[in-house]
A and B are shown apart, each in its own frame.
Chain A
Amino acid sequence: MRFWRNLSLSLRVPLLVVVLMVSVGIIASQLVLSQLERFQVTRIRELARLHVEALSVALGPHVLRNDIWEVYDTLQRAAGASENRRTVFSVVADETGSVLAATDPRRAPVDSAIAVLSAGAQLPDALSIRSTDPRVRLLAPLVYQGRTVGQILTELDISDLLAERDATRRLLLLGNALATGILALLGYLATRRMLLPITRLVSWMRDTEGAPQPIPDEQTPAGDSETAQLVRTYNDMVCAIEAKAEAERRLAERERFVSLGRLSSSLAHEINNPLGGLLNAADTLQRYADRPEVVRQSSELITRGLKHLRDVAKATLDQNRLDWAGAPLSADDFDDLRLLIRPETTRRGQSLDWKVNAGAETLAAFVSAPVRQIMLNLLLNASEAAGQDGRIGVSVEEGDGFLHLRISDTGPGLSESACHRLLGIGHSTPGGGVGLQLVHDLVSQLKGHIRLDRAEGQTVIEVDLPVPGQREAAQC
C-alpha cells in the first residue's frame, strides 16, 4: 500500500486503467465461459434425449416381445452407427429391471439386475456434466406406444465435447488476454500521454526550484484542456512572482533614498547650525583682519565647522553611494551611522547609548552596505518610537560565530503590523513601514534571524548575523 502511495500519479492512473481493463476482461471471460457451459449442457441433454428416443423406437417392439437377440443386435448396430462412437455402453432391461441385452454382455449378463449398474445414473433432462469425467451415464424409461416397457441405461462418451470446451476455453482466454493486454497497454499509453503535461510541469517545477521559470510555449499542450489551463495558470503565477520580486527590488532601492529623505531635515539643521557660526567667524575675520589672535581663532572655528560639514556630507554621500557588493564593514561605518542619526536624536532630545565591541576582522567579513542599511532603518525606527527625551541603546558585539546587533528604545513598542513586517509573518499590508520590511528581507538574505522582545519598558530588537565563513547559520 505504501508502495502504491509512493508511486507517481503518472504511473498510478495508467496502472489503475490496466487493472480495470484486466478486471473487465476476466469478468467478460467468465460470462462467456458460463454461457458456453450452459450451451454445452443443453446440447448434451438434447443429444441424450434423442439417443434415448431413437433407441426406444428401435427397441420397443423387441423389448415388448423379450426378443433378446434382436435387442442385442439393435444395440450393436446403434452403437456401430453412432456418431464418433458416442455410445460406449448400453443396457436394456425389461419392466422388472432384469437385463435383456447389453452392448457388452459380459458387463451386463442377460437376466442380471440393471440396478447394479444404474447407481449414479442421471436422467437425460437433468443431466449435468463434470469436466473430470469424460463419460456420462443415463437411465431412462423405455417408452413404446405410450407405455413404459423397460429401461435403458447408456454411457455416452463426451470427451470430444469436453475437449472442444477446453479448446474453446483456452482460445477464449487467450483471445481475451490478448485483447485485454492490448487495450490495457493502449489505455496505459493514452493515460500516460494525457498526464504527460502534468509530469512535465512537476519536473519543471522541481528543476527550477527557488527560481521559477515559465514553461516555454512549445511545451505547453495545445487547446483548452485542463492541463493546458494548468500550465497557463502556472506561467501566470511565475510571471506574477517575478513581477512581485521586481517590485520589491525597486522598493528596496527607493527605501535607501527614503531613509535619507527622512534624515534630510535633520541634516539640513546639521549643516545650517555650523553655517551661522561659520558666517559669524567669516564676519569677524573681515572685521578684525588686523588682529592675528582673532584671525587664528576664527580660522580654526571655520576649519572645524567645515570639517564637520565635510564629515556630514561624506556620510550622506557614502550612504547614498552604497555599493552592495563592495567595501567591507568597518568601525567607521558605525561612526557614520552615529553621525547620521545624531541630528535626529538631538532634535528630539534623546540620549544615545552607543557601544561597538566587534573586532575589525569580524566586521570585515561582512559587506558594509546591507549592515548599514539594516542599522540605519532600525535606528530611525527606534528614534521615532522613543519620542521626545527618550533613550536609545545601540550595541554591536560578536560571539558564537555571529555578529549581534541590538537596538533598544523606550518607545511604546511595535504595532502588530510592524511586528509582522519585521518578522516576516503573514502578508505585508500596504502603506508605511517599508523600512522594517526591508530589514527583514536583508536579514533573510544574510541568513540571519531577528528576535523582538519587550521588557522593562523597552523594545529590544536583536539581529544575529552569521559571520560569513565561520559557521552556517540557522534560517530566519
Chain B
Amino acid sequence: MEITRRDFLGAAALAVTSGVLPARAARPFRLGLTPVFLDNDAAVIERLQVALTGALGIPVQMEQRRTYKEVTEMLLEGALDAAWLCGFPYLQNRDALSLVAVPVWNGAPLYQSYLIVGAGDDAASLDDLEGDVHAFSDPDSNSGFLVTVSDLAMKGLRAEEFFGRTIFTYGHRNVARAVSSGLVRSGSIDGYVWEVLAKMEPAITENTRVIARSEWLGFPPVCARRDRMRDGDIIGFQDVVLNFGNTAEGRAALDLLQLDGMARATPELFDGIARRMQILNNLR
C-alpha cells in the first residue's frame, strides 16, 4: 500500500493530538520575540537563549517574526509558550493574555516614545512634520505607532492625512536607520531602543534628533496565555524570568540589554497606553 505524504502527515497529527507520542518531555520552551531592537543582534538573542535554557533546564527556542501581529497570534493560538510583546497588543488581547513579568529599565518598568527627525532638521514639534514622509515601527507598537497616531487624534487628525506618506519599517532600529539615512523625515521610535542604540550603535542615532518625548508608559511586558498561567512550565518560566538577574548568565544577558531586571506587573501599569487606545478609538 502506498503511503502518500498527506496520509503520513495526517497520521502524525492524529498521533500528536491523542498523546500517543511521548513528545512532551522533549518539547522545548518556545519564547516569541517582537522585533524591538534586537532583531539584528544574534549575539544578544543567543546569550538570552543560553541563559534561559540554563535556568529553565529545558531547551528554549527563540521565535522571531517580522510583525508584532504574527508573534501575538502565535502566542494566542498556542504556537508559543510565552512572548515578549508590547503593551499595545497585550491590551488589545488582555482577555486572553496575562502578564508574566515586565523589564525594569533605569529603576522603573517604564519607557517613553520618541519622535525623531534628522540631526540637521529644524522641526521643533510634530506640527512641523506635516506633509512629509514619516516612519512607524509597527501598526501594533505602542511607542512606534500608537503614541504618535493618538497625539494626532487628540488634534482631530489622521496620520495618513497629516503626513505626506507613512511607512512601516517593522523594527525600531529600522526607524532610526530610515530617519538617519534621510529616507524619511521623521519617525516614531521606542525611547528605550533609541537610548540603547545611542550607546551601542551611535552611528545610527547621531544623525537623528529627538524633538518630542511621550509621557512614561508601561515597558513592553512578557506575556503568556491566561489559561496556561497555572501550567508548570509557565510557572517555572515566570520564576526563572523574575530571578533572571540573580544568575550570572541572566545578569550578563540583562546587561547586554541594558536592563536592571524583571519585575511582576499589574495591568494598571499600562493604563497610559489604554488611554491612548481610547483616544484613537474615539477618533475612529
> Contact residues of A with B, CB < 8 Å?
67-69, 72-73, 101, 104-106, 109-111
Q: A69 near B182 (CB under 8 angstroms)? A: no
Closest Cβ neighbor of A69 among chain B residues: B169
Residue numbers in B under 8 Å from A67 (CB-CB): 167
Closest Cβ neighbor of B164 among chain A residues: A111
Among the listed A69, A104, A106, A109, which residue makes an inter-chain contact with B167, where contact means beta carbons less than 8 Å apart? A69
B178-211 interface bits toward A, Cβ cutoff 8 Å, 1 = contact, 0 = none: 1001111000000000000000000000000000
Q: Which 7 A-B pairs have the closest CB atoms?
A: A106-B182, A105-B183, A105-B182, A69-B169, A68-B167, A69-B167, A110-B133
A-B contact pairs, 15 of them (CB 8 A): A67-B167, A68-B167, A69-B135, A69-B168, A69-B169, A69-B178, A69-B183, A104-B182, A105-B183, A106-B181, A106-B182, A110-B133, A110-B184, A111-B133, A111-B165
Looking at the assembled complex, report how far the CB atom of A99 sits from the nearest CB atom of chain B, in whole angstroms: 10
Docked CA distance A268–B170 (Å): 153
Closest Cβ neighbor of B167 among chain A residues: A68
Q: B174 near A73 (CB under 8 angstroms)? A: yes
Docked CA distance A110–B132 (Å): 10
Residue numbers in B under 8 Å from A110 (CB-CB): 133, 165, 183-184
Residue numbers in B under 8 Å from A68 (CB-CB): 165, 167, 183
Closest Cβ neighbor of B180 among chain A residues: A105
Q: Chain A's interface: helix, strand, loop or mixed, by majority?
A: loop
Docked CA distance A405–B164 (Å): 132
Among the listed A72, A106, A109, A111, which residue makes an inter-chain contact with B178, where contact means beta carbons less than 8 Å apart? A72
Residue numbers in B under 8 Å from A101 (CB-CB): 183
Residue numbers in A under 8 Å from B178 (CB-CB): 69, 72
Residue numbers in A under 8 Å from B182 (CB-CB): 104-106, 109
Closest Cβ neighbor of B170 among chain A residues: A69
Q: B165 near A72 (CB under 8 angstroms)? A: no
A-B contact count (CB 8 A): 33
Residue numbers in B under 8 Å from A109 (CB-CB): 182
A73-B174, A106-B181 are known; give 13 further A-B pairs, CB within 8 A: A67-B167, A68-B167, A68-B183, A69-B135, A69-B168, A69-B170, A69-B174, A69-B178, A101-B183, A104-B181, A106-B182, A110-B183, A111-B164
B158-175 interface bits toward A, Cβ cutoff 8 Å, 1 = contact, 0 = none: 000000110111100010
Docked CA distance A69–B184 (Å): 10
Residue numbers in B under 8 Å from A69 (CB-CB): 135, 167-170, 174, 178, 183
Docked CA distance A67–B169 (Å): 9
Looking at the assembled complex, report how far the CB atom of B170 sits from the nearest CB atom of chain A, in whole angstroms: 7
Docked CA distance A67–B183 (Å): 13
Looking at the assembled complex, report how far the CB atom of A310 sits from the nearest CB atom of chain B, in whole angstroms: 143
Docked CA distance A111–B170 (Å): 21
Residue numbers in B under 8 Å from A73 (CB-CB): 174
Looking at the assembled complex, report how far the CB atom of B189 sits from the nearest CB atom of chain A, in whole angstroms: 14
Residue numbers in A under 8 Å from B184 (CB-CB): 105, 110
Looking at the assembled complex, report how far the CB atom of A249 sits from the nearest CB atom of chain B, in whole angstroms: 113
Residue numbers in A under 8 Å from B174 (CB-CB): 69, 73
Q: A105 near B181 (CB under 8 angstroms)? A: yes
Which of B133, B165, B167, B168 is most buried by chain A, counting CB atoms within 10 A of its CB? B167
Which of A73, A105, A110, A111 is most buried by chain B, counting CB atoms within 10 A of its CB? A110
Docked CA distance A84–B168 (Å): 31
Looking at the assembled complex, report how far the CB atom of A295 sits from the nearest CB atom of chain B, in whole angstroms: 165
Docked CA distance A68–B182 (Å): 13
Docked CA distance A105–B187 (Å): 15
Residue numbers in B under 8 Å from A111 (CB-CB): 133, 164-165
Docked CA distance A261–B178 (Å): 136
Which of B165, B168, B170, B181 is most buried by chain A, counting CB atoms within 10 A of its CB? B181
Docked CA distance A32–B47 (Å): 59
Residue numbers in A under 8 Å from B170 (CB-CB): 69
Docked CA distance A68–B177 (Å): 13
Docked CA distance A67–B165 (Å): 12
Which of B170, B183, B184 is most buried by chain A, counting CB atoms within 10 A of its CB? B183
Docked CA distance A105–B165 (Å): 15
Closest Cβ neighbor of B178 among chain A residues: A69
Docked CA distance A110–B164 (Å): 10
Residue numbers in A under 8 Å from B183 (CB-CB): 68-69, 72, 101, 105, 110
Closest Cβ neighbor of B118 among chain A residues: A106
Docked CA distance A406–B218 (Å): 153
Residue numbers in A under 8 Å from B168 (CB-CB): 69
Closest Cβ neighbor of B133 among chain A residues: A110
Closest Cβ neighbor of A103 among chain B residues: B181
B113-154 interface bits toward A, Cβ cutoff 8 Å, 1 = contact, 0 = none: 000000000000000000001010000000000000000000
Docked CA distance A323–B128 (Å): 138
Looking at the assembled complex, report how far the CB atom of B131 sits from the nearest CB atom of chain A, in whole angstroms: 11
Looking at the assembled complex, report how far the CB atom of B172 sits from the nearest CB atom of chain A, in whole angstroms: 13
Docked CA distance A110–B165 (Å): 9
Docked CA distance A104–B182 (Å): 8
Closest Cβ neighbor of B135 among chain A residues: A69
Looking at the assembled complex, report how far the CB atom of A406 sits from the nearest CB atom of chain B, in whole angstroms: 123
Residue numbers in B under 8 Å from A106 (CB-CB): 181-182
